[in-house]
Amino acid sequence: MNRTKLSPANIVILAAGVVMLIASFMSFYRLPFPGGAVTANAWDRGLFLIATLPVLLGGFMALQVGLVAFGRIDMPNRLLGLTWDQVHLVLALQCVVLMLAFWVESRPPTVTFGAGFWLMFAAAIALVVGALMRIATTRRRPRAI
């Protein structure tokens, strides 16, 4: 493993992607009742695929970072005309927009968000932070004249 390739920005993205994936199997919505609770995760009926999209997008980001850092795979410089920094920013923003939308959405008063939702929300924010860190790092890098 070539760890020297993993920048702080990529560590944030990799960690956030992993957290997002794990959290997706935890409770997204929670319906408590005396003595217990009914829960649904992002892969359950009624939530899959729309609530699973942030997981897939975050997973793709983490996979790209992981493949470049550990798999020694050379990626093309651009994807669909976008630099990889732009791709990460766009995917991270889409993740956070979706999670924000779920947060704002009205739900029956008895239904609450579970730990999985909050972890996914935090991971989505971390993905944006990681993507912005990548862009900031690229801008600081000295360019050849």
Chain residues in the site for other proteins (CB under 8 A): 45-50, 52-53, 80-82, 86, 90, 94, 97-98, 101-102, 104-108
Q: Which is nearer to other proteins, 39 or 86 (CB)?
A: 86
Contacts of 53 (CB under 8 A, 6+ apart): 94, 95, 98
| Terminal-to-terminal C-alpha distance of the chain | 33
Give every CB contact of residue 74 below 8 A, 6+ residues apart in sequence: none
At its nearest, how many Å lie between other proteins and the CB of residue 31? 15
Minimum CB distance to other proteins, residue 63 (Å): 16
Q: How far is the CB of 35 from other proteins (least distance, A)?
A: 27
Tokens standing for residue 48: 């899959």
- Residue number with CB closer to other proteins (24 or 52): 52
